[in-house]
Amino acid sequence: MRMRTLTLAAASGAALLAAGVLPASASGATPKSAQEGSVSAADLLSKVTSCSQISNGKYRTDDETSATIPVCGKNGAVFWKADMDIDCDGQRTSNCNENADPWYQDDTAFHQSNGQPLKADSLPYIVVPSSSSIWNYSGAGIKGGGVVAVIYNNKVEYAVVGDTGPTNIIGEASYATAGALGIDPDPATGGAESGVTYILFKNSTVSPIESHSAAVSLGDQLAKQFLANN
């Protein structure tokens, strides 16, 4: 789990502006289409305008912020609205390694079908807070490999639950998730400060977890059900 500080984020943002660097996909991530599946970002967001809090408390988005983010419940899903820090954990690649990521770890909480850790730079996945007195994700029907609709800037990206993080921080996704949404995926300087919505579909499992096409197919189906049931 990446522990970005506000100071680092502000400094890196200033450096990008000074250098005239485009933050979205300038780091080499290949942007995908603005829409995965047939359900629009606007339609999904219209169902999460208010929060029925199911967590016992609220989460921080970073070490230096106050706890302001609740986990909210809907029929068939839970959701939260937060920032996006970049998770580069898992299999070591040219984009995700100790040199690229000061917080790099060579494992993920959930593994591919062959037992290997996930690949953060090629598989869209998100990080859920480890179970605590604030919230127990598994008790809410959220599983490793479960489908998530991640929404940012009118784009929908389907991801899986792929890793767990600190018990008090929320708002993190893999390098591949960020790149697909037009967010700078650099694990040291990238991410989004706000505006990211995560909708996690209960009791869903992508098999195999590493199949993004399977996540999109199942996610589109569950998104339609979500609209119909809320």
pLDDT in tens, the chain (230 residues): 444 433 333 333 333 333 333 333 333 334 444 579 999 999 999 999 999 999 999 999 999 999 999 999 999 999 999 999 999 999 999 999 999 999 999 999 999 999 999 999 999 999 999 999 999 999 999 999 999 999 999 999 999 999 999 999 999 999 999 999 999 999 999 999 999 999 999 999 999 999 999 999 999 999 999 999 99
Task: Give the domains, in start order, of the chain with CATH numbers.
Answer: 6-17+31-229 (2.40.40.10)
Can you give the pLDDT at residue 34?
53
Can you give the pLDDT at residue 35?
72
Can you give the pLDDT at residue 117?
98
**Cα separation, 89 vs 60, whole angstroms:** 21
Cβ neighbours, 10 Å, residue 130: 18
152 neighbors 1 (Cβ within 8 angstroms): no
Of 112, 114, 209, the C-alpha closest to 158 is: 209
Of 159, 88, 85, 93, the C-alpha closest to 129 is: 85
- Helix/strand/coil for 180: helix
19 neighbors 12 (Cβ within 8 angstroms): no
Can you give the pLDDT at residue 30?
40
What token pair was written down for 213?
């096409």
**Cα separation, 181 vs 153, whole angstroms:** 8
Model pTM above 0.95: no
Q: Any idea what the Cα angle at residue 182 is, between residues 196 and 86, rounded to 5°?
A: 60
